[in-house]
Amino acid sequence: MNLILEGLVKAFWLIVSLDREVYEIMFLSLRVSGIAVLIGALLGVPSGATVGLKEFFGKRFLVSIVNTLMGLPPVVVGLLVYLVLSTSGPLGVFQLLYTPEAMIIAQLIMVIPIVMGVTISTVSSVSKAIKEKALSLGATNWQMTLRVLREARLGILTALIVSFGAAISEVGAVMIVGGNIRWATRVLTTAIVFETELGEFGLAIALGLILLLLAFIINWVLTYLQWSGLRR
C-alpha cells in the first residue's frame, strides 16, 4: 500500500516539477505510437476498405490472415524487425536498429493488421443497400467508396483507438528494437520494466500512472470525437 502511495506522490511530483527525463520519455512514447498509428491508418484504412468492398478470389483467406495478424505477439514482431534491421539483416545498411524509427516500424507492423481488420469488418457491415443507394443517386465508384467510409466512420475511429492503445502499451517490440537507451529510445513501457528491475518501484508506479493517464486522455478525446460523429 505504501509503495502505491509513494508512487502516486512521486508521479504527481514528477509531473508538476516538469521532470525533463519523464517528459522526454512521455513525448517519445507519444511520438512513436502516434506516428505508427498515423501511418498505420494511412495504409490500413484504404487497404481495409478495398478488401471490404471488393469481391475477389482468395478474399476469405486474406481476411483470415489479417485477423490472425491482429493478435501478433509484440515480442515476435520485435524479433522479426530486429533480424531485418540488424547489421547482418537485409535492411542493416540503414542502421536503424536502436532508433525511434525502428520502434515506429515495429509498432506499425502491429498496428496495420488491427486497423485493416477492423476497417474490413466495419466496411463489410455497411449494408449493400447503402452502396446501391449511393450508386442509384448517381455516385461514381469513388464517391460510393467515400460514402461507405463515412458510414463506417465510427468503426474506423474504433480501429484507431484500439491500435493506439495496443501500440502505446506494448513493451516487447520496442524493448528489442529500441534497446531502452536512456535519452534516446526509452519509452514509458520500457522505462517501467527497467525501473521495476532496479527496484525503483516508486518511479515505476509513477511512470505507469502517467501511461494510464495518457491512454485515458487519448481515448477520451477519440471517444468524444466518436460521439460527436454519431450526431453529425
Partner 1 sequence: MRPLIETRNLSKSYNGTDALKNVNVKVDRGEVLAVVGPSGSGKTTFLRLTNLLEIPTAGYIFFDGKDTACPDADRLALRRRIGMVFQQAVLFNETVYNNVAYPLKIRDYSKETKDLKVRDALKLVGFSGFEKKQATSLSGGEAQRVALAQAMVYEPELLLLDEPTVNLDPKNVSIIESVISKVNHERGTTIIIATHNMLQAEQLATRVAVLRDGELAEIGDSKEIFKKPSDFLASFGRVLNVFTGQSRLTEEGTGIIDIGQGVKIEALTTKTGSITVFIRPEEIIVSKSPIVSSARNMLRGKVEEILDLDQLVQLRVDVARQFTVNITKRSFQEMKINLGSNIYLSFKASSVHIL
Residue ranges in contact with partner 1 by CB under 8 A = 127, 129-130, 132-141, 143, 147, 150-151, 231-232
| Nearer of residues 115 and 152 to partner 1, judged by Cβ | 152
CB of 141: closest distance to partner 1 in angstroms?
8
Nearer to partner 1, 105 or 144 (CB): 144
Closest approach of partner 1 to the CB of residue 195, in Å: 47
Please check whether residue 117 is in contact with residue 197, taking contact to mean a CB–CB distance below 8 angstroms. Answer: no
Our CB check for partner 1 shows the closer of 58 and 138 to be 138
User: For residue 96, what are the CA distances in angstroms to 16, 24, 34, 226?
Assistant: 34, 20, 19, 36
Q: Nearest approach, Cβ of 138 to partner 1 (angstroms)?
A: 4
- Residue 12 is placed in which grid cell? 504527481
20 vs 232, beta carbon nearer partner 1: 232
Which residues are within 8 A (CB) of 41 and not within 5 positions of it... i.e. 6 or more apart?
115, 159, 160
- Min dist. Cβ of residue 135 to partner 1 (A): 6
Q: Which residue from 145, 163, 152, 153 is spatially nearest to 225, judged by alpha carbons?
A: 153
- Give, as one character, the DSSP assignment of residue 183: T
